[in-house]
Amino acid sequence: MHLTYTLEHVAAKVLNERVPLFSHKTLTGWWTAKDDVGGAVVGGAVVGGAVAGSGAVGGAVVGAQLGRPVGAPRRDDARVRVLRHFGRRATLTLRIADAMETIARTSELARVFGIDFHRCADCH
């Protein structure tokens, strides 16, 4: 049996919550996305200031001033998405530690054995 210890997998098992897993490539693409008219790239939809597939078949609508498809995230929106993702991951780690009573158990072990809490919690 293959054990997976990703944050998303642990959250599913401990908190019964599904958490999306985004690749580093996707997160980097969101962070570095441009929404200017000249050569904007937002999710691969805008190329060189023109919308890919904007002809009669594609039917994509171009924002007049931004040169991006209507509904495509702007650069600031994409960056906020990345920051929220990492913020969620940080709070998720704390929620998992709380659900597993990690701090309470570690401090109890420190009391029982008469050692410093940090020595008990330190992995080194």
Map tokens 């060189």 to a residue.
Answer: 48
* Residue 66 covered by a domain: yes
Quick one: pLDDT at residue 37? 44
Phi, psi of 95 (to 5 degrees): -65, -40
5 belongs to a structural domain: no
Place of tokens 């897993």: 21
What's the pLDDT at 123? 61
Residue at 7 is within a domain = no
pLDDT along the chain (124 residues), means of 10: 84 94 94 64 43 41 51 79 95 95 88 84 64
Say if residue 65 is exposed, middle or buried (CB neighbours under 10 Å; 0-12, 13-18, 19+): exposed
- Total domains in the fold of the chain: 1
Residue 2 lies in a domain: no
Would you state the pLDDT for residue 64?
A: 44
- Domain residue limits at 71: 24-121
Note whether residue 11 is domain-resident.
Answer: no
Please give the Cα distance from 109 to 114 (Å, whole number).
8
Classify residue 85: in a domain, yes or no: yes
In a domain, 73, yes or no: yes
Evaluate the CA torsion angle 56, 61, 64, 65 in order and state its sign. Answer: negative
